[in-house]
């Protein structure tokens, strides 16, 4: 580049406009890097997913069991009243279906925080102690349900070893009896989760009421 004043060639490069400099800058690729979530938030998300999965599965199974019970009873009544025919073992199957649905109702009530409890001793703990008392109650309930799970599992093992069979239909009972230790174990796990994070219990209760 030649300088018009001195007539000499200048070695300095020509400056580029600022707009060109901005245009030459590398543009962001569009990828956004998310900040890692704290471990407490990850654990809370996992516990909430466990509660939701258990409640959804148990609700579906209990609904199917009640539907089967209703259908069997309707067929049995119609057969007796209209056709004077009794179907062998239909009432027994309905009873077993009601037992399955009833035990699943135990753990579903735990999910909804809707178990009945006596409230005449609530005055002993003031509002400041209520969260601690509720947490202690969940811990005691979890221990109770886990102990009941062990007892019920021993009962199922005895039934399995002795080969107990249902009357009239003569099928093995222990597969149906598995719902008993499962219901207690599920309720104990939910109470343990509520004890670890009481906010999940509150959220679960608000969701259903």
Return the domain boundaries, the chain. 51-114+132-208
Tell me what pLDDT residue 97 has: 94
151-to-144, 148, 168, 180 alpha-carbon distances in Å: 11, 5, 28, 10
Which pLDDT tens digit goes with each residue over 42-71? Answer: 888 899 999 999 999 999 999 999 999 999
Which pLDDT tens digit goes with each residue over 128-161? Answer: 777 888 899 899 999 999 999 999 999 999 999 9
For residue 200, pLDDT over 60 is answered with yes
Instruction: Let me know the angle formed at the C-alpha of 158 by 154 and 160, rounded to the nearest 5 degrees.
Output: 110
Please give the Cα distance from 14 to 166 (Å, whole number): 98
Supply the pTM of this predicted model: 0.75
Q: For the ranges 12-26, 124-138, 191-205, which has the lowest average pLDDT?
A: 12-26
Residue 125 pLDDT grade (very low, low, confident, very high; cuts 50, 70, 90): confident
Please give the Cα distance from 193 to 53 (Å, whole number): 14
């Amino acid at each position: 580049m030649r300088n018009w004043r001195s007539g000499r060639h200048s070695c300095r490069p020509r400056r580029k406009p600022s707009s060109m400099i901005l245009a030459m800058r590398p543009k962001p690729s569009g990828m956004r890097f998310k900040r890692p979530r704290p471990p407490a938030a990850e654990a809370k998300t996992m516990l909430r997913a466990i509660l939701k999965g258990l409640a959804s599965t148990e609700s579906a199974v209990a609904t199917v069991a009640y539907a089967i019970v209703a259908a069997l009873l309707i067929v049995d009544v119609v057969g007796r009243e209209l056709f004077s025919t009794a179907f062998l073992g239909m009432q027994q199957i309905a009873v077993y279906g009601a037992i399955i649905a009833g035990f699943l109702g135990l753990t579903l009530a735990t999910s909804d925080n809707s178990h009945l409890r006596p409230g005449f001793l609530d005055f002993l703990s003031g509002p400041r102690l209520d969260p601690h008392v509720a947490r202690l109650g969940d811990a005691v309930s979890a221990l109770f349900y886990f102990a009941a799970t062990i007892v019920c599992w021993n009962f199922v093992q005895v039934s399995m070893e002795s080969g107990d069979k249902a009357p009239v239909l003569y099928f093995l009972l222990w597969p149906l009896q598995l719902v008993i230790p499962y219901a207690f174990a599920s309720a104990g796990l939910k109470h343990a989760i509520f004890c670890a994070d009481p906010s999940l219990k509150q959220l679960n209760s608000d969701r259903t009421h």
